[in-house]
Structure 1
Amino acid sequence: MFSHRYTLQDQYIHYRSRFDYINKLAIVILLIMGVMFLLSYLMFKQQVFAHVRLF
């Protein structure tokens, strides 16, 4: 007979590992969003300065 005793510690470790994974995923998404925002901001600044130079 196979009986798996699901202890509180096992549950805690499982949830903690899942939480760490979600945390890492959130950090990666935030980094990508920050880089994209910075790039779009720089492009927008370049366009504005180009328009200012035209006029």
Structure 2
Amino acid sequence: MPPATGCRCRYVTDWVVDKMRWGLTNDATERDALADQLGRGSNTPITVTLAR
């Protein structure tokens, strides 16, 4: 996580988008940690372009 708390939501959003784009998996621990961080950020919709 970035040390600047104001950057964490964007960091986690980019992390999730990259995982979705490339079809990468996550385990329950990672999923819970990401959901926790995203719950603290803005509720802005994102668009994911899947890799071919």
**Does TM-score exceed 0.5, indicating one fold?**
no
Which of the pair has the greater relative contact order for Cα pairs under 8 Å at 6+ separation? 2
Structure with the higher helix share, 1 or 2: 1
Q: Which TM-score tier does this pair reach, normalised by the shorter chain? A: 0.3 to 0.5
- The alignment's TM-score, normalised by the length of structure 2, stands at 0.36
Pair member with larger Rg: 1
